[in-house]
Structure 1
Amino acid sequence: MARIELFWIFLDDFYSVEALKKLNLEGFDWSSRHAGGQTILVRHVRNTLGQPAEKFVDGLETLDWLIRSGASIEQTCTRGEFSFGWTDLPDVPPVSLQVEGLNAISFARALQKKMRETLEHWKDEEAFLAKVLESLAEAFTQSGPNAAGPRVSIHEGIAELWEKSLAAKDSHDLTIETADGVVTAHAHMLKAASLVVRAMLESPMKEGKTQRIEIKDMSSKAVSLFLEILDEPDCETALHALDLAHRWQVEVVVAILTDLLTGMITDASFETIAEHAPLKANIAKHTGRSQSRPPPCRGTALPRWIAIEAERAEIQAPSHVSDAAVVMKDAEGCSKQAVETASLVLALITGFLQMAQMAQTAQAELFWIFLDDFYPLEALKELNLTGFDWSSRHENGQTVLARHICNTLMQHPSKYEDIENCLKTMEWLIHSGANIEQKCFGAESRFSWLWWKPPPFCVQYGGLSAISYARALQKKMRKKLWVDEVEENMSDEEFFLTRVLELFAAVSADSSPSVAGPRVSIHEGIAELWETSLAAKDSHDLTIETGDGVVTAHVHMLKASSSVVTAMLESPMKEGKTARIEIQDTSGKAVSLFLEILYTCSAQDEPDYETALGALDLAHRWQVEAVVAILTDLLAGMITDASFAAIAEHALLKGLERLKTAAQRFEAESTRVQADLRAGRLLAVAQLFHGRSNPSKPNKPKPKRHWM
């Protein structure tokens, strides 16, 4: 995927941690390795050592962020060798190291030992490695068995709904009397979190009868901190909250407060915190951890292997339809499976033939001429490219974006000294429909310049996307910067490619599966509590009557999330009087999925696209934007030939631009969808997407009105 490729490019080129964060790496596999077999942390340490010493501080900051994000300290390299040396000090022997089998710690230590053998040449580097080992030690300690525990990422909007629910004091049904005031909460949340509290509130004792708990030895601030994390609590408040969490055996809050207090240790607080530590140490031994909640579901689209195999095999369209018909002739008399396979191949060849024929139209021909001759963006816009196939390729096999990169680099520097204009054209091409991940056919591009005489160089582009092509060019140019010492001549080109990759990164983040909105990281146990709360049906006070059954929930959660539901439940109408809502046009499975995402930002089981569409319709109707955004992302990954029409129609009717873009991209790649559109089988989608009517049914003339 584009984000993975861009991550390694940014890591190798020593981009700042802010730039890495913008890549939006939700779902990234932090256990992946570099193409050379090195782990993420080993690769980053190696890259940092190649920078000037003043950049080492930035390298340490990025190292900390990589570890917090999920990069493993203990993961080992599968292969690779590093050699460090000074280009301007050829007499200094380089430091070489085999990294196979080494993790980040052993790599840094082995390299440090090597450098100490000739320390006079490696003082800054050895000091940096010492700090790396300190950072790794600190991170390893924090991620060990005493750490707060695993964390999950949820949509920020869901976290805000939880906060609103906590703040909805009119729905609180539990009172906690503290030493200096009263604090209220939802009983079902405390019962889900603590077996001790559940026993109290379900007993025939005073607490159970009155739904009131007295803890006169605790301040209201400490109880409030237990219920929510306040802004910068002091050490004393945090310790009291820890005492309450320990008393009620709420392990997740104990873990979070332990982490918080670890960072509060000072000369003044050391004795008090140290006194609490051994007293609370054994809670994990006496309280069972709940089962890990399933990871947030993400719908996965079926692989479009036809297009992938075609690109991999570099299938070219025949010049005549009769050539394609040979495929079917060869299958005559064969098995049914052979005939079906031949039909599929024929459809594939026909699709390529249509692309080739389209390239001969005046519209496409003019586009490629304007692109090759480096016309300005305004001239390209005037071509009126409505209906242009942005997945088409240049006659030499290059994609639209790869061709634009090539054309830009072949201009005289005076033509693209205003790099911003070149990038604006690139951005416009992408927004118009050009795909940064589409791969080129063909062989290689040869670069030579007439206005100065460096040796020409070639770059193979067959099988490369625009990202891979830009990176391959950049590496070639950087090699020439060092070897041929022509940095003044090629600095503009290399800088242009750097900006292109940054643009691709921004586009990838905007269109990635994680663009539903900002996300926050929370302790996994907190998410489990909300899941337990949803499952606590005895505390539900809202009934939703669906098309095939009844689903229940908490009134305060729905009111916190939706102004539409709030208006219904606070009105004198039937919904307000009975706390029952009827939605007979929605299935129970769809409503349950909506509630699962609302409560937990996840789903227990992977839903089908019809259930997801039903949940999306409900979220859109009730104006729950966070759930709409999450389901939009989910459905973008569920588009297949079978689901295309339904998902595309919902995207268009509800004005969901990200989902519409995903559907348009799928349409551009699916020969079956294109065939259905041409045959008029997807009339509604064709009219909404392209303004086309059914070709088999001419439009009826509008009846003439007779004025009386």
Structure 2
Amino acid sequence: MMVTQTKFNSLIGFLRIGDILGLQKFIPADFDWSQKGGPEDVTLLHYAVLCLGEENPGEKHLKTMEWMLRSGADPEHELPQKHPQCYLIWKRKNKRGTTIEIPYAGHSATSLAFAWLEALETSEEEWTVEREYLKNVVSLIARIPSLHRKKVAVAEGVVDLWESVLNMSTTHNVTLETEDGNVTAHDHVLMAASPVLEAMLQSAMKEGVHKHISVTDSSGTSVALFLEVLYTSSMRGSPSHLTMLAALDLAHRWQVTTVVQQLADVLLEMITVDSFVAIAAAAVLKGLSSLTRACSVFGAKSPQVQAMLKKGSLPTAVRTLLQPDSAKSLETAKKKRRTV
């Protein structure tokens, strides 16, 4: 989702002063991180790099940038090759003699940071604070894993073919025993998708010998949904958020990262007052950054959720999401012991 230019300018303002809470409150849950705007006509992540020009670029700006990266901002998103503008910095004592400028054309946030770092390191002026900030920026970008899944267009016939493969139950050779019945699948598909299932199905234990996996803590519906998404990257029905979360738990337990992300993407659209606690808890405990951010935004704006927070009825994981500082204080308080 793109925002108005007025709102985009407000987001830039929060970014420039390093106000992460303000940014989280006003940015939409489904914000399009590729949107460009503001006086420089670049993305918010590019503006985060440009915070090197602020009075004291430092930790608060880096924390805000980290949240942006974990929320889906793409450090490799490139600006147009014909971008007409450039960014300049200079020393107040001698603007004409110290001005450095870097054009935006074709730069990603990553390449822009490196371009500025190189320019400052070859300058005869003192840019220690700015260089240190940029070094931390590129280190941060390298450390935070990308949330961007590359998607390709697939002919509908290919999806139909894989759905047919899933439905060919007579060729299935693995049984998954659920709480309310058995569900079957192909061992080679499960092993190719999951290192956990591969180890189980190749072991000398009953899972490997009898091709029988016990998942009696899960419903047949949730296991079937997991398999449907695994085989076809789609779903025909409209499962409840609880079924989605149960399937997500299986995908996470078995380390099927593609299915984890696909289910998390669908859950983004299922956050309501009724589903908030369950989805938010799962997002936090499983470290699902995009889903966690969406829950954080929803919770900050929802009067009902804020009422639950004030009442103290939210689980610890969800309370930590909405009030990170107070949760840390509570944890510290619990750790204190009295010497006797």
Q: Does the 8 Å contact 1:569/1:579 carry over to 2?
A: yes
**CA distance in 2: counterparts of 1:517 and 1:569, whole angstroms:** 28
Shift, 1:522, TM fit:
2.4
Matched, 1:542 2:199: no
User: What secondary structure does 2:274 align onto?
Assistant: coil
The one-letter amino acid of 1:391's match is K
In the alignment, what sits opposite 2:149? Answer: 517
From 396, 402, 421, the equivalent of 2:50 is 421
User: What secondary structure does 2:25 align onto?
Assistant: coil
Q: Deviations over 1:272-311 (max 9, x none)?
A: xxxxxxxxxxxxxxxxxxxxxxxxxxxxxxxxxxxxxxxx
User: What secondary structure does 2:273 align onto?
Assistant: coil
1:87-102, aligned counterparts within 5 Å? Answer: none
**CA distance in 2: counterparts of 1:677 and 1:543, whole angstroms:** 43
The one-letter amino acid of 1:618's match is L
Q: Deviations over 1:523-552 (max 9, x none)?
A: 221211110111111111100011222111
Q: 1:705 to 1:621 in 2, by over 3 A?
A: farther
Structure 2 gaps of 5+ residues are: 28-36, 41-46, 55-60, 69-102, 110-146
In the alignment, what sits opposite 1:585? Answer: 217
Q: Does the 8 Å contact 1:545/1:582 carry over to 2?
A: yes
Q: 1:655 to 1:693 in 2, by over 3 A?
A: closer
In the alignment, what sits opposite 1:664? Answer: 296
From 391, 397, 418, the equivalent of 2:25 is 391
In the alignment, what sits opposite 1:681? Answer: 313
The one-letter amino acid of 1:2's match is M
**CA distance in 1: counterparts of 2:67 and 2:198, whole angstroms:** 41
In the alignment, what sits opposite 1:620? Answer: 252
Structure 1 gaps of 5+ residues are: 7-367, 394-403, 410-417, 434-495, 504-514
The one-letter amino acid of 1:642's match is D
Shift, 1:704, TM fit:
4.0
In the alignment, what sits opposite 1:2? Answer: 2
**CA distance in 1: counterparts of 2:177 and 2:244, whole angstroms:** 18
**CA distance in 1: counterparts of 2:179 and 2:171, whole angstroms:** 23
**CA distance in 2: counterparts of 1:576 and 1:585, whole angstroms:** 20
Alpha carbon RMSD of aligned pairs, Å?
A: 4.1
Shift, 1:657, TM fit:
1.0
**CA distance in 2: counterparts of 1:420 and 1:619, whole angstroms:** 36
The one-letter amino acid of 1:421's match is L
Shift, 1:637, TM fit:
1.4
Q: 1:705 to 1:536 in 2, by over 3 A?
A: farther
Q: 1:689 to 1:585 in 2, by over 3 A?
A: farther
Q: Does the 8 Å contact 1:516/1:630 carry over to 2?
A: no
1:64-463, aligned counterparts within 5 Å? Answer: 377=16, 380-381=17-18, 385=19, 387-388=21-22, 390-391=24-25, 405=38, 421=50
Matched, 1:551 2:180: no
Q: 1:432 to 1:423 in 2, by over 3 A?
A: farther
Give identity over the alignment, percent: 39
Q: 1:618 to 1:387 in 2, by over 3 A?
A: same
Matched, 1:631 2:229: no
Higher-Rg structure is 1
User: What secondary structure does 1:520 align onto?
Assistant: coil
**CA distance in 1: counterparts of 2:323 and 2:164, whole angstroms:** 47
Q: Deviations over 1:68-93 (max 9, x none)?
A: xxxxxxxxxxxxxxxxxxxxxxxxxx
**CA distance in 2: counterparts of 1:570 and 1:392, whole angstroms:** 50
Q: 1:542 to 1:680 in 2, by over 3 A?
A: same
From 687, 690, 707, the equivalent of 2:323 is 690
User: What secondary structure does 1:552 align onto?
Assistant: strand
Q: 1:432 to 1:627 in 2, by over 3 A?
A: closer
User: What secondary structure does 1:522 align onto?
Assistant: coil
Q: Does the 8 Å contact 1:616/1:632 carry over to 2?
A: yes
The one-letter amino acid of 1:549's match is G
Q: Does the 8 Å contact 1:677/1:683 carry over to 2?
A: no
In the alignment, what sits opposite 1:640? Answer: 272
Matched, 1:576 2:208: yes
**CA distance in 2: counterparts of 1:424 and 1:586, whole angstroms:** 53
Q: Deviations over 1:655-706 (max 9, x none)?
A: 111111111121222121122112212141113543435999xx66745466
**CA distance in 1: counterparts of 2:53 and 2:204, whole angstroms:** 56
**CA distance in 1: counterparts of 2:236 and 2:165, whole angstroms:** 14
Q: 1:705 to 1:545 in 2, by over 3 A?
A: farther
Superposition TM-score, scaled by structure 2 size: 0.59
From 217, 237, 253, the equivalent of 1:605 is 237
The one-letter amino acid of 2:2's match is A
User: What secondary structure does 1:615 align onto?
Assistant: helix
Q: Does the 8 Å contact 1:651/1:657 carry over to 2?
A: yes
Shift, 1:422, TM fit:
6.1
In the alignment, what sits opposite 2:281? Answer: 649
Shift, 1:430, TM fit:
7.8
Q: Deviations over 1:40-71 (max 9, x none)?
A: xxxxxxxxxxxxxxxxxxxxxxxxxxxxxxxx
Q: 1:419 to 1:618 in 2, by over 3 A?
A: closer
Q: Deviations over 1:573-603 (max 9, x none)?
A: 1111110000111111111111000111111
Q: 1:602 to 1:565 in 2, by over 3 A?
A: same
Q: Deviations over 1:620-654 (max 9, x none)?
A: 11111111111111111111111111111111111
Q: Does the 8 Å contact 1:564/1:623 carry over to 2?
A: yes
